[in-house]
Amino acid sequence: MTHEVKLMKRIGILTSGGDAPGMNAAVRAVARKAMHEGLEVYGINYGFAGLVAGDIFKMNEATVGDKIQRGGTMLYSARYPEFANEEGQLKGIEQLKKFGIEALVVIGGDGSYHGALALTRHGYNAVGLPGTIDNDIPFTDFTIGFDTAVNTVLEAVDRLRDTAASHERTFVVEVMGRGAGDIALWAGVAGGAEDVIIPEHDFDVAAVAKKLQSSRERGQKHAVILLAEGVMHAEEFSKALGEYGDFQLRSTVLGHVVRGGSPTARDRVLASQMGSYAVELLLQGKGALAIGIQNNKLTTHDITDLFDSKHQADLSLYTLADELSF
């Protein structure tokens, strides 16, 4: 969606939904690129809730200094389902008018994109950046925070394997990923997991048990299984698996620890590229666009296209994990 190009003076930035490592790098890139182009930049705290409440402040170069390496989001985040209603949207627009903000960059996931689309339809161009560790946004190979999350899980898996080997145990490691198993899948391949259980692929507990038993017969007495939370809880899976044999099972839920930590170089670069590109799009008078990266090139898609599509896991990695884990 493109509105008539006019001389723009002020833009806003907000982060919404779950935090993701690299959000601060994206905020920094948006702010500094905008300032480089002669724009004033306003930070909006607590996402759409803060927008409606008017929790808005003017940023300068120093505001985003010493932030690129920090996890979480300096603008904080909050879920605000009320923004799905026009009443909430109009309250937010009142605040935009009050502060003279003419366009926004929204960093977050699916819910954040709905808000960006609504604002554009009300005449305020908004561009969405994919900030979510789950990597569950369509039309982008990677989301901001995913690479860091995978590396955090991988470090934990490497440590757990040490104790699994020492005690000849099987660890079922539950990681975030309600509707998308990318974190489990990528960490499973990188960590040499004996099995990976994700929502996008059927599984058979009996087959998992058979694979573990075969490994034991060959002399490998320990194992690590990566489980996406969207399938079932680790304790539940362990209980089901335990009915097929004594595998010395232990369950570990990594939980929200996967969201935190300093972003990797890859996430920092990706966030910086996307943040700068978002400002360029707004300067061109464009809104209701979601930025992605495909085949290592920045792309844009109409936000509405994302709502009719679903992220597809790379199931060739699932096959690879299975072939290398026997």
In this predicted structure, what is the pLDDT of residue 239? 97
In this prediction, residue 152 carries a pLDDT of: 98
Residues 14-30: what's their mean pLDDT? Answer: 97
CATH 3.40.50.300 is held by the domain 10-145+263-308: no
Percent of the chain with pLDDT over 70: 98
Q: What's the whole-number average pLDDT of the chain?
A: 95
* Beta bridge partners of residue 173, listed in sequence order: 226, 252
The pLDDT value given to residue 34: 98
pLDDT at 123: 94
Going by the annotation, the residues of the binding site for substrate are: 132-134, 169, 176-178, 229, 250, 256-259
pLDDT (tens digit, 9 = 90+) per residue, 71-97?
Answer: 999 999 988 999 999 999 999 999 999
Put simply, whether the predicted model's pTM sits higher than 0.85 gets the answer yes
Per-domain residue ranges for the chain?
A: 10-145+263-308, 147-260
Beta strands at 249-253 and 56-59: parallel, antiparallel or unpaired:
unpaired
Rounded distance between C-alpha atoms, residue 130 and residue 136, angstroms: 9
Q: Tell me how many degrees the CA angle 324-245-171 measures, rounded to the nearest 5.
A: 50
Tell me which H or E stretch contains 79. Answer: none
Q: How do residues 24-49 score in pLDDT, each as one tens digit?
A: 999 999 999 999 999 999 999 999 99
- Binding positions are 18, 28-32, 79-80, 109-112, 132-134, 161, 169, 176-178, 192-194, 218, 229, 250, 256-259
Catalytic residues: 134
pLDDT over 90 at 6, yes or no: no
Tally Cβ neighbours within 10 Å of residue 219: 6
pLDDT in tens, 161-188: 999 999 999 999 999 998 899 999 999 9
Which residues are 131's β-sheet partners? Answer: 144
pLDDT at 79: 85
3-state secondary structure of 7: coil
- Residue 120 is given by DSSP the state H
**CA angle at residue 209 from 208 to 210, to 5 degrees?**
90
**Does the pLDDT at position 326 exceed 80?**
no
pLDDT, tens digit (0-9, with 9 covering 90-100), for 262-302: 999 999 999 999 999 999 999 999 999 999 999 999 999 99
Sequence-ordered list of residues with C-beta below 8 angstroms from that of 103, at least 6 positions apart, any chain: 8, 11, 12, 124, 125, 126, 127, 282, 287
Q: What was the pLDDT predicted at 4?
A: 52
Nearest to 21 by CA among 152, 185, 173, 177: 152
Does 228 have pLDDT greater than 90?
Answer: yes
Query: Tokens 């702010």 belong to which residue?
Result: 31
| Fold of the domain spanning 147-260 | Rossmann fold (3.40.50)
Domains 10-145+263-308 and 147-260 share a fold: yes
**pLDDT confidence of residue 325:** 86
Tens of pLDDT, residues 294-303: 999 999 999 9
> Residues at the annotated binding site for ATP?
18, 79-80, 109-112
- In order of 152, 168, 181, 251, the CA distances from 248 in angstroms are 25, 7, 25, 10
